[in-house]
Amino acid sequence: MHLSPSDIQAIFLTLKLASVVTVILLLLATPLAWWLACTASKTKGIISAVVALPLVLPPTVLGFYFLLAMGPNGIIGGVMQQLGWQALPFTFGGLVVASVCYSLPFMVQPLQNAFEAVDKNLLDAAASLGASVRHRFFSIAVPLSRAGFLTAIILTFVHTIGEFGVVLMIGGNIPGVTRVASVQIYDHVEALEYMQAHALSAVMLVFSFVVLLFIYTLRPAHKNIN
């Protein structure tokens, strides 16, 4: 059982995609989760439903709409064409955009839960000591939500690694550009290369298991520090 150079390439592309998506989502989802945790706005319900959509929709549905939107006649594609930018479908950038949406709930929900668990009285106490909203967030809410951040980051990363349907719909199968590990495995199976499918699948299985084991065994220890 060994990995071919194209398998290695697929693994690295997968890790790159997951890393980029995780970093982008951390920046986008943190304020969104904080807003959802704090707001009394009536739009909270709508926003929460939209955020959760990727959890229930078949990835192909999401991928299909992305394909339409990013195409030359779509909303996003049209604008990009006007600006003279490269069209997104079948590019790494397209994969990143789609994956960010696809993995959004995996970042938002653990963060929102963690933020909601922060004792509001502590934030009030910080305010009475002169801390602005921003300072309260970074000095109190973020450190007290460490466990939530860890969970959100790991789940987003692993979930992005595991995606298949969205990638296939809008990324296609271009080696080194959009051919991630899950697609590579599909290719191997299509070509009846079971041994190679085996090797790559085993790598993903072990990796995912180790990561989840990390979450479920090490996280309680982190919590105790609080």
Query: CA of 28: how far to CAs of 21, 48, 153, in Å?
Result: 10, 15, 13
Closest approach, Cβ 189 to other proteins, in A, equals 48
How many residues of this chain interact with other proteins, rule: CB under 8 A? 21
Kindly state whether residue 40 participates in binding other proteins, applying the rule CB under 8 A. Answer: no
Asked if 72 interacts with other proteins (CB under 8 A), we say: no
Residue 125 binds to other proteins (criterion: CB under 8 A): yes
- Our finding on whether 73 is near other proteins (CB under 8 A) is no
CA distance 65 to 1: 38
User: What's the Cα-to-Cα distance from 91 to each of 27, 121, 175, rounded to whole Å?
Assistant: 22, 48, 11
Among 5, 45, 84, 130, binds other proteins (CB under 8 A): 130
Amino acid present at 155: L
CA distances from 219 to 22, 112, 149 (A): 19, 17, 11
- The residue from 39, 41, 86, 139 that contacts other proteins (CB under 8 A) is 139
Q: Does 127 bind other proteins (CB under 8 A)?
A: yes
Counting Cα atoms < 13 Å in the Cβ hemisphere of 77 gives: 17
* Residue 82 binds other proteins, judged by CB under 8 A: no
Which residues lie near other proteins (CB under 8 A)?
119, 121-122, 124-133, 135-136, 139-140, 143-144, 225-226
